[in-house]
């Protein structure tokens, strides 16, 4: 349900950006939104909190994203007014995917514990090209908490082959059997 709502908002933002010839500027804003939310535990907590009222969230987000364009500010206002501000990160991610599809290029997000070597990047691009059949570039994010392995995200598909995920799965299985 939340995914569909996020997609509807993202499509509306993309349509508005196309009409205003601002798709690239809005994509930069959306990348800034996702990076800021990913980097701030406090911001994620505030967005998810039912205790913090909508106006407080709106004012905080306006201050944080004051340098963003009018379309992005309008999205924040709309989501807050509709009591859907918790979807902000998801809407931003969906917008990026939709805009990349519109341009005919995709980005594969590969999160690893250590930076990818050029050889590994080539191998990954080859495998991803088989899956997507689109022109794809790789964006490597580093997250040492993965311990090893990787998380691959292409469009709406996500594959988690991290050691941390496998350990969590084993932990869940063990606690469920006890």
For 73-129, the pLDDT digits (tens) are 999 999 999 999 889 999 998 998 888 878 777 778 888 989 888 898 888 888 887
The predicted model scores a pTM of 0.64
Domain boundary among 100, 118, 140: 100
Residues paired with residue 109 on neighbouring β-strands, in sequence order: 139, 153
26 and 10 co-located in one domain? yes
115 and 172 co-located in one domain? yes
Domain boundary among 100, 123, 151: 100
* Arithmetic mean of pLDDT over the chain: 88
Greatest mean pLDDT range, 1-5, 65-69, 160-164: 65-69
Q: Which residues contact 125 (CB under 8 A, 6 or more apart)?
A: 108, 136, 138
Q: Nearest Cα to 73, choosing from 109, 33, 132, 105?
A: 33
Query: How many domains would you assign to the chain?
Result: 2
Domain range for residue 21?
A: 2-100
């Amino acid at each position: 349900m939340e995914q569909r709502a996020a997609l509807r908002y993202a499509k509306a933002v993309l349509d508005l950006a196309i009409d205003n010839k601002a798709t690239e500027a809005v994509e930069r804003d959306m990348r800034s939104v996702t990076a800021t939310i990913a980097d701030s535990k406090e911001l994620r907590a505030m967005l998810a909190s039912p205790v913090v009222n909508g106006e407080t969230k709106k004012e905080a987000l306006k201050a944080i994203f004051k340098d963003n364009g009018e379309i992005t500010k309008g999205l924040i206002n709309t989501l807050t007014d509709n009591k859907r501000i918790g979807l902000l990160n998801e809407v931003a991610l969906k917008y990026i995917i939709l805009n990349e599809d519109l341009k005919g290029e995709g980005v594969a997000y590969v999160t690893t514990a250590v930076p990818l070597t050029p050889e590994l990047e080539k191998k990954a691009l080859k495998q991803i090209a088989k899956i997507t059949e689109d022109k794809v570039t790789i964006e490597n994010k580093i997250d040492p908490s993965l311990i090893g392995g990787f998380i691959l995200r292409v469009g709406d598909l996500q594959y988690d082959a991290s050691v941390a995920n496998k350990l969590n799965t084993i932990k869940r299985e063990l606690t469920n059997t006890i």
